[in-house]
Structure 1
Amino acid sequence: MFVMGHNQLPPHLKKFRRLVYISPVITILSLSLLVWTYSSDMTFQFITRYYHATSDPQTPVQFTLPLHRGPGQMGPEEQKLSLMAVNGTKTVLVAAYQEHRTGQKEVRIIAVVLRSETVAYRCLLRCQEQLRISEGVSTTHSDHFGFAYGTADIMCPLPLGCETASHVTVISAASDSNDTQIQEFLEVKNQKVQSDSFPYNFVVCLSTMFDFTNVLQLVQSLEMLQLLGVNRVVIYKTSNSPETQRILDYYIYKGFVEVIPWSLSKFVNVSRGWLPEHGPGDLHYLGQIPALNDCLYRYMYQSRYVALQDMDELILPQSVNSWLELVPLLEMKYGEDKCYMFENNVFPNTVSLPPPTSQTLPPPSCCPGWENVSGVNILAHLYQEPIITETHYTNFKIIVNPRAVFSTSVHGLLSSLIDCSWVDRNIARMYHTRASRQTELTEDELIYDGRLLSYSTKLIPNVNAVFRESGLLPEGSIQ
């Protein structure tokens, strides 16, 4: 923060200083002390608020942070996730969390394991600066989609006298005892239980990002989530285009997106398909399931609700406009702090038809400049495939109280303290803008749904503002 220097005082204050020496010196020192007691975060927030409050609204706010990095370099404030291989095994440790909901004090380690391998694990825990040892118990999640590797929980009981463990790691019980001195450790998170007054109402956990180039839909989805009342979006990222990274950097600095580098492919041959026959590899879809489980535990005591979904999916209320308004309706109908399942509706991104003439909302004729951004424009795809028996209760996504969940899969929960309830499609449903699933349908068999357009008056200028402020599009190309 800028503080006025001694020689920069205006003339009339210099004259006043010559008359009175002691009081101004004390005042300046006091003000300086107060200024420098502010943290850098507070300073940045103050400057940002002041700039936006005093700037001409027609003047674009340019995003001037460093945007070009080499392969493997982390973006601004990206969160590091220290994946660790367990020597002598095929096990990879993802993250560790204190477990408060079971009958004994223990640490839960989210891991990826070779399902055919039998390993006796030994947990090394740092307790009050001492190294303690306990026997780890591993349970492999039931959803692995037939791949050789799967997600697992390794439970590490805290030994007698160990009230809390700050760090933990795992070795094979068959390892040399000297290994205990050379191990890397995971920080044990979720040390404190939180039952109310959460920092966030809604956090969205998105599936893994790999070779991602769909920039337009990414921006539209992130802006839609903000309109819906989401406080934070968490993305597990392996690789993406430079344009995508520019957008991610923008949202990271805005504080809306948390990007976690997802380097599991360095340890396991991950598949790009969701079944073994859909693509080579040893682990389901880029390690999507361990990422979702980590995200759920990461925000277990930070967010009242967590939504598990994909980048091309949006859960839209039908009678209200935000999740903040939707959740009271769900809690009243299905119960509080539960798991809510939303029916999947596919909107083929290959079909662009105008709305029926009876509809009052015309098709959006926007937006100049968007054609120069790679990706799908969700506002141009307003026709959904009909719901059929084969797909009616598949590919749904959930909003859930994370403190009631022990393990999750892509679609629904594996182990929890609660049941999930299907949400009436007239209350809310999921809009999935993607490639067609029912490829044999003709255009007249598709069903128009203009719900998304009701957000367009706010969505369009917000998307344009992101392109303008991030510098992704030249100023003159956006209206």
Structure 2
Amino acid sequence: MIGKGKELSQELRSFYDGTGLRRICNFLNDPVKWKEHHFTISPPRPSAPYKVIVIAMMLRKEKVALQCHLYCHEQLYSSKAKIDIHWDHFGFPYGTADILCPLPSGCGTPTRVAITTGAIRNKGTEVSFRNQKVLTNFSYTFTSCFSTMYNFTNVLQVTFELLQYLGVNRVVVYKTNCSADTQRVLDYYTKKGLVEVIPWSLSNYLTVSRKALPKQDPADIHYFGQIPALNDCLYRYMYQSKYVALHDPDEYILPHWVELLPILEKRYGAGKCYIFENNWIPVEFALTPPPPHTLPQQKQWQNISGVNILTHIYNEPIAPKPAFNNYKIITNPRAVFAVSVHGVLKPWKTCTWTDRKIARMYHIKLRGKTELKPEQLIYDNRLLNYNAQLSSAVNIVLRDTGLLSEDNLN
């Protein structure tokens, strides 16, 4: 039932500042907990018949009635919330949820919303909106969303330089903590305007798993809260970026995005979600390329924390279907409503597989125990094609951040 407008009490004036913003709040510096079991992230876009969707993390087994309190034109309106918990929760007790709030008559453009479990005296989580207008001109063409950085020690200058070369204008990093050297690199790219670091303090409120499944590491929520972070990034950049890519720092979609996306738009249709097949590159194998090719000589990088992706150029054979492929996506963020680690939850029909002859993704990481023999790996020199541009750019970053001295670079 939707409540009528009423004057705003003094108590609620501390909730609402009437700023006129409409889309996503900057919750993540210190998330607010209500009723012990539910955590709100942000209110994203309108979606008829519900005009406000608030992303939350909720205890799946608990049934709870929630109220939306919307502030419009110096008056407060209330409505009964609908709760939609995402089905892709990997079996953990908590899942990402959409809290859907109908807009009452006379409250077409709310500036604030609070979610509570009962009467308004039970202070819940209050959040503001951004981007009231539906925009068609974007600040960024390509935004990459990285979630979630926890005890991270891999220095990211090679990743950031490659992404810039591919055409990425913005990288969003959801960070709990990282090494001092990694922070130095994040600060460097933040100052340049490439990176936005979102403080991700979820581990202060829930026990976060370090693994993908409860049987691997029992906890409250999947892999550091990766799924709500990805959904937040989707909505946060919905009207800031033409396309959003959801992938990890050690995953690289090739070739050049500026040239690739027009091809995909023409072949599969514009404004869609494009799926890229994953190709594992195990770093356990240090293999040289076949003659006459050679690996780049970068001895000065040897003491820098992380993986030099230019020295790993052999990938595993693709597992035949129906084996799951750990694919990732580049999507028009305005075409989808909910995402997960691998792809889109709603609406799935928005997505289309990209022909691997046109583009593919490379995931460069330790694979652990494997029965593969070196001779079974497949040589792929695509990354080597970026050697000249990357090497010089990375050396500049290492010098400017003080990770390497001028003498070590000569």
TM-score normalized by structure 2?
A: 0.90
Partner of 2:132: 191
Shift of residue 365 of structure 1?
1.3
1:299-353 deviations in whole A, cap 9, x for unaligned?
A: 1111111110011000012xxxx20100111111111111111010011111111
Change (3 A) 1:229 1:472: same
Shift in Å at residue 391 of structure 1? 7.7
Is this contact kept in 1: 2:275–2:329, CA < 8 A?
A: yes
Give yes or no for the alignment of 1:289 onto 2:227: yes
The residue aligned with 1:4 is: none
Q: Which residue number corresponds to residue 357 of structure 2?
A: 426
SS in 2 for 1:277: coil
Q: Distance in 2 between matches of 1:367 and 1:192?
A: 51
Whole-Å separation in 2 of the counterparts to 1:107 and 1:246: 38
Offset at residue 98 of structure 1 (A):
3.4
Which amino acid is the alignment partner of residue 176 of structure 2?
Answer: T
Compared CA separation, residues 177 and 296, structure 1 to 2 (3 A): closer
1:336 maps to 270
SS at match of 2:218: coil
- Compute the displacement of 1:104 (Å): 3.1
Confirm whether residue 252 of structure 1 aligns to residue 193 of structure 2: no
Distance (whole Å) between structure 2 residues aligned to residue 386 and residue 297 of structure 1: 35
**Match of residue 297 from structure 2:** 365
Q: Quote the Cα distance in structure 2 between the aligned partners of 1:367 and 1:459.
A: 15
Number of aligned positions between the proteins: 385
Q: Which of 379, 385, 388 is residue 448 of structure 1 equivalent to?
A: 379
CA-to-partner distance for each residue in 1:354-388, whole Å, 9 max, x for gaps?
1012xx431111142x1121111111111111111
Q: In structure 1, what is the equivalent of residue 121 of structure 2? A: 178
Within-5 A mapping of 1:242-391: 242-317=180-255, 322-357=256-291, 360-368=292-300, 370-389=301-320
SS at the partner of 1:432? strand
In structure 2, what residue type is equivalent to 1:464?
Answer: N
CA distance in 1, matches of 2:350, 2:124: 40
Counterpart of 1:206 in structure 2 is 146
- Does the 8 A contact of 1:114 with 1:150 survive in 2? yes
Q: Give the whole-Å Cα distance in 1 for the aligned partners of 2:76 and 2:302.
A: 59
Give the SS at the match of 1:252.
helix
Distance 1:390 1:263 in 2: 38
1:97 aligns to 2:44 (yes or no)? yes
What runs of 5+ residues in structure 2 fail to find an aligned partner? 1-25
Which of the pair is proportionally richer in helix?
A: 1
**Alignment correspondent of 1:3:** none
Partners of 1:134 and 1:158 within 8 A in 2: yes
User: Whole-Å Cα distance in 2 between the matches of residues 206 and 392 of structure 1?
Assistant: 25
State the one-letter code of the partner of 2:375. Answer: D
Query: For the structure 1 residues 227 and 177, does the alpha-carbon distance in structure 2 shift closer, same or farther, using more than 3 Å as the test?
Result: closer
RMSD (Å) for aligned C-alpha atoms: 1.7
In 2 relative to 1, CA 129–361 (structure 1 residues): closer, same or farther, beyond 3 Å? farther
Residue type of the partner of 1:459? L
Quote the residue 2:9 is aligned against: none
Instruction: Name the CA distance, whole Å, in 2 between partners of 1:156 and 1:103.
Output: 10
Q: Deviations over 1:168-196 (max 9, x none)?
A: 121103xx5422xx5552112232211x2
- Is the contact made by 2:281 and 2:314 (CA closer than 8 Å) also made in structure 1? yes
Distance change >3 Å, CA 387–CA 177, structure 1 → 2: closer
**Rg larger in structure:** 1
Question: Take 2:268 and 2:120, find their aligned partners in 1: how far apart are those partners?
Answer: 53
- In the aligned structure 1, how far is the partner of 2:269 from the partner of 2:368? 33
Give the alignment partner of residue 139 of structure 1, picking from 84, 87, 102.
84
CA 1:392–1:137 in 2, change beyond 3 Å: closer, same or farther?
same
Q: Secondary structure in 1 aligned to 2:45?
A: strand
1:12-23 correspondence to structure 2 within 5 Å: none
Return the alpha-carbon distance in structure 2 between the equivalents of residues 79 and 150 of structure 1. Answer: 18
Query: Residues 90 and 260 (structure 1 numbering): CA distance in 2 closer, same or farther, change over 3 Å?
Result: same
- Would you say the 8 A contact 1:207–1:292 is kept in 2? yes
Name the SS for the 1:226 alignment partner: helix
> Partner of 2:20 in structure 1?
none
> Equivalent residue for 2:31?
83
> Does 1:117 find its partner at 2:62?
yes
Instruction: Provide the rounded CA distance (Å) in 2 between the counterparts of 1:279 and 1:390.
Output: 28
Match of residue 178, structure 2, among 240, 245, 270: 240
**2:207 match: secondary structure:** coil
Deviation at residue 401 of structure 1 after TM alignment: 0.6
- Report the CA distance shift for 1:440/1:425 in structure 2 as closer, same or farther (over 3 A): same
Following superposition, the deviation at residue 131 of structure 1 comes to 2.2
* 2:33–2:125 CA contact under 8 A, matched in 1: no
With over 3 angstroms needed to count, the CA separation of the structure-2 counterparts of 1:434 and 1:329, relative to structure 1, is: same
Deviation at 1:471, TM superposition (A): 1.4
d(CA) in 2 for partners of 1:314, 1:377: 13
The runs of 5 or more residues in structure 1 that have no matched partner are: 1-77
The offset of 1:105, in angstroms, is 5.4
1:122 Cα deviation after fit: 0.5
Tell me if the contact between 1:364 and 1:380 (Cα under 8 Å) persists in the aligned partners: yes
**Distance in 2 of aligned mates of 1:386 and 1:204:** 27
Determine helix, strand or coil for the equivalent of 1:279: coil
